[in-house]
Amino acid sequence: MQPSPPRDHVTVGILALQGAFAEHQVMLQKLSLKRRVVVVLVRQQEDLDKCDCLIIPGGESTTIALLARLAGLLEPMREFLKTKPVWGTCAGAILLARWVEGAKKGGQELLGGISITIERNGFGSQVESFEAPLEVEGLRESNCAFHGIFIRAPVVIGLSPSPTDPPIQILSRISASLLPASQTVVPIDEDDTDPRDPRTIVALRQGLHLLTTFHPELTKDHRFHEYFVQECVLPTLSISSPPPE
């Protein structure tokens, strides 16, 4: 059998049930990469089946989970993330986590692709939303800060990879002084706080997946979208591509 020709495009799905999916779409359409990016708005399993990877946008995690259940997408997404990269932004980060604190009464469903505990609205309410310059490891021109927009953002409160889980790679932290009073980090000495505290983590990777507690799609900076496609997705495709002649 002839090997299939190398793919000239990558298909990026965006879960489009609620939240900031259109903003992700605009960002992806502006990327200029080695491979063409085809965007699929995912609303049912047939859409997901076409995708090489998936972005779960910010919005309201409880609503997204409920709509995903009604659309019959929860189980297919849990299967999808076993083999394909998923990036969760803000509410999407909550969905991607394995455990959640501050869930809606009665609990909320998660996909559980990343072995962290995340606290919903951990940075406070809408009025406590804030913006902060971030240093992010691995981004193009990483010495140039990425503008982090945090809107009722979740806080990573624990990393709990099991011995068989892939390691967690921290890409960005914010200064502990930006955490709200309810998240006060215990100082390790008089004028410093523990830089390893998980609550300062705002971007991380584990295995195939990427998680940001802020909203890169609400900026004009394409570097995070570029990073996801280039660093998280393309390497998974080249494995199945035939070697170059």
CB 197 within 8 A of CB 176: yes
User: Binding ligand GLN by CB under 6 A: which of 47, 48, 58, 156?
Assistant: 58
CA-CA-CA-CA dihedral for 58, 222, 233, 164, to nearest 10? -60
Q: Which is nearer to ligand GLN, 152 or 225 (CB)?
A: 152
Query: Do the bridges between strand 192-193 and strand 187-189 make them parallel or antiparallel, or are there none, so unpaired?
Result: antiparallel
Instruction: Compute the least distance from the CB of residue 61 to ligand GLN, in Å.
Output: 3
Q: Which of the stretches 7-15, 56-64, 155-163, 181-189 binds ligand GLN when contact is defined by CB under 6 A?
A: 56-64
How many residues sit close enough to ligand GLN to count as binding (CB under 6 A)?
11
Position 60 contacts ligand GLN (CB under 6 A): yes
205 binds ligand GLN (CB under 6 A): no
Token pair belonging to 25: 């779409």
Place of tokens 């609990």: 107
Q: Which is nearer to ligand GLN, 98 or 152 (CB)?
A: 152
Residue 215 among the catalytic residues:
yes
The residue among 75, 155, 163, 149 whose CA lies nearest residue 120 is 155
Q: Cβ distance 205 to 168 under 8 Å?
A: yes
212 binds ligand GLN, rule: CB under 6 A: no
SS3 state at 28 = helix
Could you give the string, one character per residue 151-170, with x where binding to ligand GLN holds by CB under 6 A and - elsewhere? xx------------------
119 is catalytic: no
Cα–Cα dist 57/23, whole Å: 9
User: Which of 51, 53, 90, 232 is flagged as catalytic?
Assistant: 90
The least distance separating ligand GLN from the CB of residue 214, rounded to whole angstroms, comes to 9
CB atoms within 10 A of CB 162: 7
Give 200's DSSP letter: G
Q: Taking CB under 6 A as the rule, which mask of x and - marks residues 93-112 in contact with ligand GLN?
A: -x------------------
- Choosing from 24, 209, 215, 225, the catalytic residue is 215
Identify the CA nearest to 89 among candidates 51, 146, 160, 141.
146
Asked whether position 183 contacts ligand GLN by CB under 6 A, the answer is: no
3-state DSSP assignment of residue 217: helix
- Contact with ligand GLN (CB under 6 A): which of 15, 48, 91, 232? 91
Measured between alpha carbons, how far is 154 from 118 in angstroms, rounded to an integer? 6
Verify binding: residue 59, ligand GLN, rule CB under 6 A. Answer: yes
- Contacts with ligand GLN, residue ranges (CB under 6 A): 58-61, 90-91, 94, 120-121, 151-152
**Which sequence positions are flagged as catalytic?**
90, 215, 217
